[in-house]
C-alpha cells in the first residue's frame, strides 16, 4: 500500500528494517489510542487535538462512498504524516488475497499488513513473502487459529457463503490484546435479478486484562454496504455507504474470550442488520420523497392538501 | 507493489476522466497532466507539489454532497493547512460546483432568487435570470449575489422565442410549486435565440432544482432535472429530452449515499405558445412521476432481494450460534475422522 512504499523508498537498505519495525510499533500504539481517542475526550487531550486528522475524518463522512479509495489516496498524499492513523481509522471495502499454501482466500486490512505484504490467518505466512514479517506470539496465534475456525462456521451459518478472517495482536502499551473479525459477502444477483449487493463487516475488539474473573471488552463495528441495480436501461440506482456502532461490556472469562467476543459480534451484527434496513432504505428514500412529493398526495404541506384545507376553511366560515 | 499501484490507478483515472464531465466554463489546462505528474512523483518518492494539492482539494470540493460544500471547505482548509492553496482551489471549484448543483441564490435587491446554471451564465460571475430579465453578479465562493442589473437586449431572446419560453416557464412554476416543497426552476433559451416566427428551430432548457439540508437530522439531498426542449417550426414538433439526477446523503453515525439518474424523452406537437407550454410541462410532469415510480420499485426490489441475500436474520437452526459448542462439535468431528482413519 501507499504508506509502505513511501516509507520504504525514503529509507535506505539498512534503514528499511528500522522503518518497518518503527511503523509496526507506532501503528499498534496508535490503533488502540486512536480507537479510544475517537470517543474519549481524555485521550484526545492526551495525544493532542489534531485538527488536520479530524478534518480528514469529516471529509470521509461526506465523500461519496463509492469513491472511498480515491478520497483516501488523496488524503494520504495531503497528510503523509498521518498515514498510519488514516489507514487504520478509515474503513475501506475489504480486499481479498489468495493464500497459495493453504489454498484459501483471506481478507486484507491494516492489522495484518507489514510493509506491502499481508499475513494469511490460515498459513500465518505473508504474501508476497516477507522473511521477518510481524508475527503474533505463540499463545496469541493459538487463539487466532481457533478464532478463525469458529468464525468460519459462524459465517457459513449466517451468510451461507462469503469469506472471513480474524487477526489478533498485542498492543504496545497496556495488557490484554486486540482482535479484528472481518467478513466479506458478495450477493451476486441470483435468479437473473439485476441487483447486486456487497457486505463488508469489520469488527475490532479490544480486550482488557483479566481482573477478578472479569475482562472489559470494547467492540467497534463497521458495516459497509453497496447496492446497485439496473432495472430499466435508462435508470441507474446506486446506494452505498457505511455505518459504525460501538458496544462495551464487562464479562466473565469463565467461558473463554472467544465465546464472549463471538456473542458480542453476533448481537452487534443483528442490531446492525436491522438498523441498516431502516437507515439505508428508510432514510434515503425519505429524503428523496421530501424533495419531490408524489402528485396529488394528501399531506398537510402538499398543494393538494393545502387547497383542500382552504376549501374546508371556506366552508366553515361561510356557515 | 500491485496493491500500492491499484490504490493510485483510481486516482490516475479520476484525473483523466474528470476532464470529460466538465461544464462549459473550463478550468486550467494543467489538470489533464496532473495524473501523470502525481504518478511520476509517486515513483520518485515523496513530495506533492502545490499544483497537485490544489487539484486534490478541488476534487474534494466538487464531490461535496448537496448543501454541504461550506462544511467540506472548512475541513479541506484544516487538511491543507495553507490558506493560499485553499483560496486557489476554492476559486476553481466553487463556480463549477454551484453551476453543476444548480443552486439558488437570493438576489441582492431581495426581489427573488436566481438559479446558477451553465445555461444562464453570461460569464463565470454573471448569471441571467430569464424570468425577470435581470443579470446577477455572483461571488461563487461566498455563494451570494453582490449586484443586480437589468439584462441587455442582446442577452435576451427574440420576442417570438420569449413568448414560448415564458409560457413554459409559467406552467413549470405551477408544477414545481405543487410537486417540490423547496424547488426552483428556470427556462433558458440555449440555441436560436434570435429566431422569429416561421423561421428555424430553437432550443430551450427547462431546469428544476431542489435541495434540502438538515444538519440536526443528519441528511441532505438534491433533485436536479434538465429538460432539453427542441422546437422545430418546419415539422411543427417539440422534442423533449430529460436528464434527472437525484442524490441523498445520510450521515448519522456513518455515511450512506444514494445516487440515481435517469434519461427519458418524449415529444409533442407545436401549438400556440400557451398550449405548447401546457403540453410540454405535462410531458415533464408525467416523465418525472414515472421516474419516481421506478425509484420506489427499485427500493423495494433491493430491500426484498439483495439485502436478504447478504445475511440471514438467524441461522437455519432458528437459534443463535453456539460459540462455546462450535469448536467442540468440530473437534469431535475431527476426532471421529481421525479414529476412522487409523482403524
**Domain chopping of chain B, boundaries:** 29-62+67-100, 154-303, 315-342
Q: Give pLDDT, residue B13.
A: 46
Q: Give pLDDT, residue B260.
A: 93
Flag the least confident range among A97-101, A146-150, B14-18. Answer: B14-18
Q: Is pLDDT of A2 > 70?
A: no
Q: Are strands B144-150 and A177-187 parallel, antiparallel or unpaired?
A: unpaired
Q: Is pLDDT of B152 > 80?
A: yes
CB within 8 A of B15, min separation 6: which ones?
Answer: B31, B32, B34, B35, B38, B55
Residue-wise pLDDT tens digits, B197-219: 888 889 999 999 999 999 999 99
Q: Read off the pLDDT of each residue in A59-85 and give the average, rounded to a whole number.
A: 91
pLDDT band at B169 (very low <50, low <70, confident <90, very high): very high
Q: Is pLDDT of A11 > 50?
A: no
Q: Give pLDDT, residue B40.
A: 44
| Residue found by looking up cell 472489559 in the block | A216
Q: Read off the pLDDT of each residue in A106-117 and give the average, rounded to a whole number.
A: 90
Backbone angle region of B143, left / alpha / beta, with phi > 0 → left and psi within -120 to 50 → alpha: left
Q: Are strands A104-108 and A95-99 parallel, antiparallel or unpaired?
A: antiparallel
Flag the least confident range among A45-49, A270-274, B61-65, B180-184. Answer: A45-49
What single DSSP character describes residue A293?
P
Q: Give pLDDT, residue B303.
A: 79
CA dist A88 and A3 (Å) reads 12
Q: Is pLDDT of B87 > 90?
A: yes
Measured N-to-C along each axis, helices B50-62 and B69-80 cross at an angle, to the nearest 10 degrees, of 160
Higher pLDDT, A313 or B256: B256
B154-303 homologous superfamily: F-actin capping protein, beta subunit (3.90.1150.210)
Q: Is pLDDT of A318 > 90?
A: no
Q: Give pLDDT, residue A227.
A: 86
Q: Is pLDDT of A179 > 90?
A: yes
Q: Are B122 and B133 a contacting pair, CB within 8 Å?
A: no
Residue A177's DSSP bridge partners are A207
Nearest chain A residue to B4 by CA: give it.
A1
CA dist B112 and A90 (Å) reads 43
- Note whether A82 contacts B: Cβ–Cβ < 8 A: no
Q: Read off the pLDDT of each residue in A164-184 and give the average, rounded to a whole number.
A: 91
Higher pLDDT, A311 or B155: B155
Q: Which residues of A touch B69 (CB under 8 A)?
A: none
pLDDT band at B137 (very low <50, low <70, confident <90, very high): very high
Q: How far is A75 from chain B (nearest CA, A)?
A: 8
Q: Give pLDDT, residue B35.
A: 38
Q: Are B290 and B244 a contacting pair, CB within 8 Å?
A: no
Q: Is pLDDT of A4 > 60?
A: no
Q: Is pLDDT of B4 > 70?
A: no
Flag the least confident range among A280-284, A311-315, B80-84. Answer: A311-315
CB contact under 8 A, A291 and B212: yes
DSSP B267-320: EEE---HHHHHHHHHHHHHHHHHHHHHHHHHHHHHIIIIIHHHH--SS-TTSS-
Q: Is pLDDT of A9 > 50?
A: no
Interface of A with B in 8-47 (CB under 8 A): 9-10
Interface of A with B in 89-108 (CB under 8 A): 95, 108
CB contact under 8 A, B321 and A262: yes
Q: Is pLDDT of B269 > 80?
A: yes
pLDDT band at A315 (very low <50, low <70, confident <90, very high): confident
Q: Which residues of B touch A244 (CB under 8 A)?
A: 253-254
Give me chain B's average pLDDT, please. Answer: 83
Q: Give pLDDT, residue B28.
A: 36
Phi, psi of A23 (to 5 degrees): -65, -40
CB contact under 8 A, A241 and B254: yes
CA dist A172 and A174 (Å) reads 7
Q: Give pLDDT, residue B325.
A: 79
Q: Give pLDDT, residue B23.
A: 36
Q: Give pLDDT, residue A233.
A: 77
Q: Are B135 and B149 a contacting pair, CB within 8 Å?
A: yes
- Vertex B113, ends B107 and B117: CA angle to 5°? 105
Nearest chain B residue to A116 by CA: give it.
B1
Name the nearest CA neighbour of A239 among B311, B255, B127: B255
Nearest CB neighbour to A277, from listed B11, B307, B309: B307
3-state helix, strand, coil in chain B (%, to 5): 45, 25, 30
Q: Read off the pLDDT of each residue in B306-311 and give the average, rounded to a whole number.
A: 80
- Note whether A306 contacts B: Cβ–Cβ < 8 A: no
CB contact under 8 A, B250 and A284: yes
Q: Which residues of A touch B79 (CB under 8 A)?
A: 52, 55-56, 59, 75, 78-79
Q: Are B213 and B66 a contacting pair, CB within 8 Å?
A: yes
Q: Read off the pLDDT of each residue in B181-210 and give the average, rounded to a whole number.
A: 90
CB atoms under 10 Å from CB of A131, counted, come to 5
What single DSSP character describes residue A294?
P
CB contact under 8 A, B303 and A153: no
CA dist B167 and A234 (Å) reads 29
Residue-wise pLDDT tens digits, A252-283: 999 889 999 999 999 999 998 888 888 778 88
CB within 8 A of B292, min separation 6: which ones?
Answer: A288, A289, A292, A294
Q: Which helix (H) or strand (E) holds A205?
A: strand A195-207
Measured N-to-C along each axis, helices B2-17 and A2-10 cross at an angle, to the nearest 10 degrees, of 110
- Note whether A74 contacts B: Cβ–Cβ < 8 A: yes
Q: Give pLDDT, residue B46.
A: 60
Q: Read off the pLDDT of each residue in A212-238 and give the average, rounded to a whole number.
A: 88
CA dist B113 and B165 (Å) reads 18
What single DSSP character describes residue B49?
P
pLDDT band at A41 (very low <50, low <70, confident <90, very high): low
Q: Read off the pLDDT of each residue in A59-76 and give the average, rounded to a whole number.
A: 93
Q: Which residues of A touch B80 (CB under 8 A)?
A: 78
Higher pLDDT, A302 or A277: A277
Q: Give pLDDT, residue A25.
A: 55
CB contact under 8 A, B59 and A60: no
CB contact under 8 A, B178 and A295: yes
Q: How far is A23 from chain B (nearest CA, A)?
A: 17
Give me chain A's average pLDDT, please. Answer: 82
Q: Read off the pLDDT of each residue in B304-320 and give the average, rounded to a whole number.
A: 83
Q: Give pLDDT, residue A26.
A: 54
CA dist A90 and A23 (Å) reads 18
Flag the least confident range among A16-30, B162-176, B314-328. Answer: A16-30
Q: Is pLDDT of B61 > 60?
A: yes
Nearest CB neighbour to B60, from listed A74, A244, A270: A74
Q: Are strands B202-214 and B219-232 parallel, antiparallel or unpaired?
A: antiparallel
Cell matching residue A243: 455505518
Q: Read off the pLDDT of each residue in B181-188 and give the average, rounded to a whole number.
A: 92
Q: Give pLDDT, residue A33.
A: 46
Nearest chain B residue to A260 by CA: give it.
B323
Q: Is pLDDT of B15 > 70?
A: no
pLDDT band at B314 (very low <50, low <70, confident <90, very high): confident
Q: Give pLDDT, residue B43.
A: 43
Q: Give pLDDT, residue B301.
A: 81
Amino acid at each position: 500500500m501507499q504508506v509502505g512504499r513511501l516509507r520504504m523508498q525514503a529509507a535506505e537498505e539498512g534503514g528499511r528494517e528500522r522503518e518497518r519495525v518503527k511503523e509496526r510499533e507506532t501503528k499498534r500504539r496508535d490503533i488502540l489510542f486512536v480507537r479510544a481517542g475517537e470517543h474519549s475526550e481524555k485521550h484526545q487531550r492526551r495525544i493532542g487535538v489534531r485538527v488536520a486528522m479530524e478534518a480528514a475524518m469529516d471529509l470521509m463522512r461526506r465523500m461519496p462512498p463509492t469513491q472511498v479509495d480515491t478520497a483516501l489516496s488523496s488524503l494520504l498524499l495531503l497528510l503523509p504524516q498521518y498515514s498510519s492513523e488514516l489507514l487504520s481509522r478509515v474503513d475501506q471495502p475489504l480486499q481479498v488475497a489468495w493464500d497459495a499454501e493453504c489454498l484459501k482466500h483471506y481478507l486484507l486490512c491494516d492489522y495484518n499488513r507489514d510493509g506491502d505484504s499481508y499475513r494469511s490467518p490460515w498459513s500465518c505466512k505473508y504474501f508476497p513473502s516477507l522473511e521477518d514479517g510481524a508475527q503474533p506470539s505463540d499463545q496469541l496465534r493459538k487463539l487466532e487459529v481457533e478464532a478463525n475456525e469458529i468464525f468460519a462456521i459462524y459465517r457459513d451459518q449466517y451468510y451461507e457463503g462469503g469469506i472471513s478472517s480474524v487477526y489478533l495482536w498485542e498492543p504496545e502499551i497496556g495488557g490484554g490484546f486486540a482482535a479484528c473479525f472481518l467478513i466479506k459477502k458478495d450477493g451476486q444477483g441470483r435468479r437473473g435479478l439485476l441487483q447486486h449487493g456487497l457486505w463488508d463487516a469489520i469488527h475490532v475488539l479490544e480486550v482488557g486484562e483479566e481482573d477478578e474473573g472479569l475482562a472489559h471488552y470494547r467492540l467497534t463495528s463497521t458495516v459497509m454496504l453497496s447496492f446497485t441495480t439496473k432495472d430499466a436501461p435508462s435508470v441507474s440506482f446506486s446506494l452505498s455507504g457505511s455505518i459504525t456502532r460501538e458496544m462495551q461490556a464487562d464479562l466473565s472469562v469463565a467461558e473463554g474470550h472467544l465465546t464472549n467476543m463471538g456473542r458480542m459480534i453476533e448481537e452487534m451484527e443483528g442490531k446492525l442488520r436491522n438498523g441498516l434496513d431502516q437507515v439505508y432504505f428508510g432514510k434515503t428514500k425519505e429524503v428523496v420523497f421530501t424533495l419531490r412529493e408524489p402528485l396529488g398526495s394528501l399531506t398537510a404541506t402538499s398543494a393538494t392538501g393545502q387547497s383542500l384545507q382552504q376549501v374546508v376553511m371556506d366552508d366553515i366560515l361561510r356557515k | 507493489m500491485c496493491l500500492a499501484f491499484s490504490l493510485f490507478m483510481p486516482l490516475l483515472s479520476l484525473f483523466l476522466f474528470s476532464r470529460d464531465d466538465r461544464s462549459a466554463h473550463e478550468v486550467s489546462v494543467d489538470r489533464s497532466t496532473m495524473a501523470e505528474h502525481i504518478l511520476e512523483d509517486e515513483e520518485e518518492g515523496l513530495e506533492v507539489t502545490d499544483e497537485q494539492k490544489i487539484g486534490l482539494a478541488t476534487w474534494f470540493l466538487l464531490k461535496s454532497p448537496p448543501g454541504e460544500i461550506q462544511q467540506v471547505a472548512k475541513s479541506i482548509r484544516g487538511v491543507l493547512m495553507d490558506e493560499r492553496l485553499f483560496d486557489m482551489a476554492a476559486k476553481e471549484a466553487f463556480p463549477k460546483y454551484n453551476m453543476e448543483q444548480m443552486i439558488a441564490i437570493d438576489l441582492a435587491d431581495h426581489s427573488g432568487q436566481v438559479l446558477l446554471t451553465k445555461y444562464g451564465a453570461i460569464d463565470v460571475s454573471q448569471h441571467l435570470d430569464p424570468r425577470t430579465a435581470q443579470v446577477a453578479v455572483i461571488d461563487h465562493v461566498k455563494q451570494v449575489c453582490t449586484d443586480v442589473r437589468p439584462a441587455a437586449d442582446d442577452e435576451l431572446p427574440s420576442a417570438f422565442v420569449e413568448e414560448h419560453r415564458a409560457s413554459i416557464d409559467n406552467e413549470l412554476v405551477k408544477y414545481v410549486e405543487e410537486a417540490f416543497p423547496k424547488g426552483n426552476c428556470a427556462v433558458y433559451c440555449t440555441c436560436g435565440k434570435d429566431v422569429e416566427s416561421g423561421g428555424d428551430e430553437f432550443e430551450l432548457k427547462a431546469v428544476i432544482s431542489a435541495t434540502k439540508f438538515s444538519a440536526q437530522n443528519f441528511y441532505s439531498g438534491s433533485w436536479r432535472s434538465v429538460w432539453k426542449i427542441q422546437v422545430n417550426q418546419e415539422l411543427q414538433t417539440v422534442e423533449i429530452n430529460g436528464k434527472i439526477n437525484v442524490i441523498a446523503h445520510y450521515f448519522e453515525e456513518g455515511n450512506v449515499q444514494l445516487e440515481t439518474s435517469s434519461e427519458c424523452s418524449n415529444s409533442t406537437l407545436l401549438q400556440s405558445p400557451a398550449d405548447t407550454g401546457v403540453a410540454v410541462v405535462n410531458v415533464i410532469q408525467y416523465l418525472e412521476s414515472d421516474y419516481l415510480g421506478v425509484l420506489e420499485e427499485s427500493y423495494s426490489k433491493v430491500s426484498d432481494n439483495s439485502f436478504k441475500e447478504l445475511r440471514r436474520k438467524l441461522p437455519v437452526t432458528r437459534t443463535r450460534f453456539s460459540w462455546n459448542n462450535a469448536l467442540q462439535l468440530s473437534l469431535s468431528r475431527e476426532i471421529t475422522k481421525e479414529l476412522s482413519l487409523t482403524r
